[in-house]
């Protein structure tokens, strides 16, 4: 299945369901903040399983309790596709379940 870039309208629509995520420089981005390093690593481990299951991988940076995520699709010219929206949604669900914050 060839993955097509989403249109700006499709991305804007997807963002209405992704609290705190933004569309920036052709990627879906968010910086998550956790209680400490262990919580941040716990998130990355579990989100890593989701990414691997989707065979779609983030660019992400961790510094202590923060995880900055950038999602775009290499095979679609580094544009945002449905795969990025799917992974962002899974990460968001995971973040909510780990932090207890909606």
- Using CB under 8 A as the criterion, which residues of the chain lie in contact with its own copies when the complex forms? 37-38, 41, 44-45, 48, 51-52, 57-64
Dmax (CA) of the chain: 39
Is 10 or 46 the residue whose CB approaches its own copies more closely? 46
Where would I find the beta strands (DSSP E) of the chain?
Answer: 22-24, 27-33, 59-63, 66-71
Is 18 or 41 the residue whose CB approaches its own copies more closely? 41
Is 57 or 93 the residue whose CB approaches its own copies more closely? 57
Provide Rg for the chain, Cα atoms. Answer: 13
Is 20 or 37 the residue whose CB approaches its own copies more closely? 37
Three-state DSSP at 25 gives coil
- Report in angstroms how near the CB of residue 83 gets to its own copies at its nearest: 14
Q: Are 68 and 31 in contact (CB under 8 A)?
A: yes
- Report in angstroms how near the CB of residue 81 gets to its own copies at its nearest: 16
| Cα–Cα distance measured from residue 27 to residue 46, given in angstroms and rounded to the nearest whole number | 21
- Report in angstroms how near the CB of residue 41 gets to its own copies at its nearest: 4
């Amino acid at each position: 299945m060839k993955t097509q870039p989403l249109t700006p309208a499709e991305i804007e629509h997807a963002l209405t369901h992704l609290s705190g995520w933004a569309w920036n420089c052709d990627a879906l981005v968010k910086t998550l903040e956790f209680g400490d390093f262990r919580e941040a690593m716990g998130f990355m481990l579990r989100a890593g399983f989701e990414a691997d299951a989707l065979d779609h991988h983030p660019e992400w940076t961790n510094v202590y309790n923060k995880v900055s995520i950038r999602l775009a699709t290499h095979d679609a010219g580094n544009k945002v596709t449905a795969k990025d929206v799917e992974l962002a949604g899974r990460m968001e669900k995971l973040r909510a379940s780990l932090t207890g914050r909606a």
